Chain A
Amino acid sequence: NAGVTQTPKFQVLKTGQSMTLQCAQDMNHEYMSWYRQDPGMGLRLIHYSVGAGITDQGEVPNGYNVSRSTTEDFPLRLLSAAPSQTSVYFCASSPGLWTGYTFGSGTRLTVV
């Protein structure tokens, strides 16, 4: 009964470093998304996927890449970390367009 699993839970990066935030779900959900949460701004969509092999950009995609080679996994790559990417990142999945998300517990990323 894992749901949506995100790793790591915490990460500190230096400016310019790259890394991958991992997201895996075991519910066979087609739809997966990545959000970032910043104080006073709610959650903003970075990238999303409507199935294996299909991804698209959200409202704040710059500096991030995604791929979806399997239904289960949806990793988020930071290409060259910047302090503006300091945030809490949430991965979410759902079985359909309008059923609502199941969220992971988040990754708190600090870029120094």
Chain B
Amino acid sequence: AQSVTQLDSHVSVSEGTPVLLRCNYSSSYSPSLFWYVQHPNKGLQLLLKYTSAATLVKGINGFEAEFKKSETSFHLTKPSAHMSDAAEYFCVVSDPPSGTYKYIFGTGTRLKVLA
């Protein structure tokens, strides 16, 4: 069965410093992986997705993630944090392409950006 683990429930960084949000997954197949961001009292917005093309995926707002099959990881990074990056981030793994169309969400990482 597919699963996803976000290793940190809370991360604090100073503005201008790098961001690292960690995600490990478990899948018997070649997964599709996503990162979503949720600002307070808002819906979720797709940041980036990996679907078996390039292992380094670039997303919106300067975020990127690297798919590492040997480590079963899909960590989200950004070189320099901005105050507007403060939000909750979700790592998502898809079920295999069996037509069941189910996404498994991690429990989220809340990013705090300090001035």
Binding site for B on A (CB under 8 A): 4, 31, 33, 35, 40-45, 48, 50, 56, 58-59, 90, 92, 97-106
Contact = CB atoms under 8 A, between A and B. Distances in A.
B43 A98 contact: no
A68 to B, nearest CB: 13
10 tightest Cβ-Cβ pairs between the two chains A and B: A103-B43, A42-B105, A43-B105, A100-B46, A103-B44, A42-B107, A105-B43, A98-B32, A100-B49, A98-B51
Contact of A101 (B42, B99, B103): B103
A48 B34 contact: no
Contacts of B97: 97-98
B43 A90 contact: yes
Interface residues of B, number: 23
A41 B104 CA distance: 11
Contacts of A59: 102
Contact of B106 (A42, A92, A101): A42
A48 B101 contact: yes
Interface string B80-111: 00000000001000100101111101111000
B45 interface: yes
A56 B94 CA distance: 16
Contacts of B100: 56
A50 to B, nearest CB: 6
Contact of A104 (B43, B90, B102, B107): B43
Interface in B44-61: 44-46, 49, 51
Nearest to B49: A100
Give the one of B34, B90, B94, B101 with max A CB within 10 A.
Answer: B101
